[in-house]
Structure 1
Amino acid sequence: MDIKKAKARVNELHQELNHHNQLYYNDATQAISDSEYDTLMNELKRLEELYPELATNDSPTQRVGGAPLKEFKQIKHPVRMLSIEDIHELKEEQLIDGNSKTEHNLIEWHKKTLNALPSDQETFTVEPKIDGVAVSIMYEKSKLQYAATRGDGEIGDDITQNVLTIKSIPISLPKNAPRSFEIRGEIFMPNKAFEELNKIRSEEGEPKFINPRNATAGTLKQLDPGIVSKRPIDIIFH
């Protein structure tokens, strides 16, 4: 197979594998068996070994991560990355103006928010809080360019290699996607997966993680993406 045919086949394999990743990890279904998927992946790996110039950063083979890093690079957020403001529910409620302290805090937050918004933008959504690690992902020309932690809100750690191991995150987008855009979300570890991970660590004599968020944060701080690829982390986008 010459380079021209190899390039065409590599592009086909990219599309096929990305399609099946989307079905499996985002739509909870699959159109081919695991062995058929492995056959496609192995074919792509062989072609990239034969023609290294065809091995791109957005290849499905890069999901397993690259070589360990010596340290994280720093990335400046194009728009400041703020944290979520908490209003905790208290076990022993103290009444303030006839309302519980939690209700009072929520009312005050509502007033403050309305004062900061134009009058025609009073729309709210409510969803469960996922306790994980905030992340910003930047796409350029339909390709994932980088992923960064919040850091101090202005500058975060470049965790691109670690994020590439999370198969529910697309490496490439449809061609009609915006030319450049940033999307933010929360990387987390499901409770059941966390319990299973701690069980394995206990059996291997490793210290247990305190909670799922602690496990997620510790995972994303790993300089070796090979370790990250073995941890059961996922993402929910805001």
Structure 2
Amino acid sequence: MYSLESINFQNKSPEQIGELLIEAKKAYYTSGKPIMDDHTYDTLEEILRLKLPNHRIFTKVGHPNFDTGFDKLAHIMPMGSQNKVTNIADLVHYFELKFNNLNNYSSPLVKGRIEGGFIVQPKCDGISVELIYKNSVLINAITRGDGQIGDVITQNIVKMKNFIKNPKDFTGSVRCEIMVTKKDFEKLNQHVGTHYNAFLPNNDTIFYSNPRNAASGLSQRLDSKYSEYCSLYAVDIYPNLSTVNDEIKFLQQLGFTTVESTLCHNFNQIENIYQQFLIKNR
């Protein structure tokens, strides 16, 4: 497992860092057995963006060129990735740029307030999937992939917790996050350990390193094994409704499990919610 401490940066060119990131991404998406922890990956990615912003890894998001064994399909709903900020000042700056520079929109930021408000939710630590329904029947479930094309993992989705088989009078798409809860993560490792560790030599053990990696690996198993340890949490719907709040209510009416949401009207409220997330045991 690569870590920042184990990598000799003096002997690594930007090109080599990029190839290492590609190797790590391939391992994460195709085997469920990561070779690099998240913090190391994010740090190396930021270094590469500064040193070699045109590296090929930034032109291909996800894993469209990796042979995962699943059929691939194009998405119906937009499946973009999230932008990252690390402090409240960066968050304010992001919104200022977004509303002042894009399409000549006027800024909604007035004396620290956000006109109309914003919905704040915890970021689900899993992988994204689009559930496509037609006349209340699930047609396909497609992983995010590169945001345009992903793997069809319908056979695994139908076995997961919180799966809604027939949302009443619904045709459209629902974006969900596949997660493994802490409780299910403990059960999963206990089950895996009970069944496999006795066969390993030299007192070796086999287990999933963390819930996020477990969600990635289990959701993309060709044999659908252990899918029941995964849970689905709805975060978006397509076609979109007037407001995010309306979308959350509609998803709940359809029976989907959504993540906790808070309506904030200024950045102090957002910062307070963030601090609560940090200290709350989840």
Q: TM-score range by the shorter chain?
A: 0.5 to 0.7
- The one-character-per-residue Cα deviations of 1:145-190 (angstroms, maximum 9, x if unpaired) are 110000001100001110011242111122xx24x21110101000
- Aligned partner of 2:158 in structure 1 is 164
* Structure 1 residues 164 and 171: alpha-carbon distance in aligned structure 2, compared to 1, 3 A threshold: same
Cα deviation code 1:38-76 (max 9, x no counterpart): xxxxxxxxxxxxxxxxxxxxxxxxxxxxxxxx9311010
Q: CA shift at 1:199, angstroms?
A: 2.6
| Distance in structure 1 (CA, Å) of the matches to 2:118 and 2:98 | 11
8 A Cα contact 1:148 1:157, kept in partner: yes
Q: Look up the match of 1:197.
A: 188
Which residue matches 2:89?
104
Distance 1:75 1:228 in 2: 24
Alpha-carbon contact 2:162-2:233 (below 8 Å) kept: no
RMSD value, Cα = 2.2
Task: Give the aligned partner of residue 135 of structure 1.
Answer: 129
Give the match's secondary structure for 2:122. Answer: coil
Does the residue aligned with 2:85 lie in a helix, a strand or coil? coil
1:210 aligns with 2:209: yes
TM-score (norm 2): 0.49
Q: SS of the residue aligned with 1:124?
A: strand
- Give the equivalent residue in structure 1 for 2:263: none
Counterpart-to-counterpart distance in 2, 1:127 and 1:80: 19
Is the 1:114–1:122 Cα contact (8 Å) retained in structure 2? no
Q: Which residue of 2 aligns with 1:74?
A: 72
Structure 1 Cα separation of the partners of residues 216 and 95 of structure 2: 31
Contact 2:77 2:173 in 1 (8 A): no
* Equivalent of residue 237 in structure 1, options 231, 234, 239: 234
Give the AA of the match of 1:216: A
Gaps of 5+ in 2: 1-67, 109-114, 198-204, 236-282
**Which amino acid in 1 is paired with 2:88?**
E
Q: Which residue of 2 aligns with 1:85?
A: 83
Amino acid at match of 1:166: M
Question: Is the CA contact 1:138–1:146 (under 8 Å) kept in the aligned structure 2?
Answer: yes
Who is 1:57 aligned against?
A: none
Q: Deviations over 1:71-98 (max 9, x none)?
A: 311010123310122223xxxxxxxxxx
Runs of 4+ displaced beyond 6 Å: none
Unmatched 5+ stretches in structure 1:
1-69, 89-101
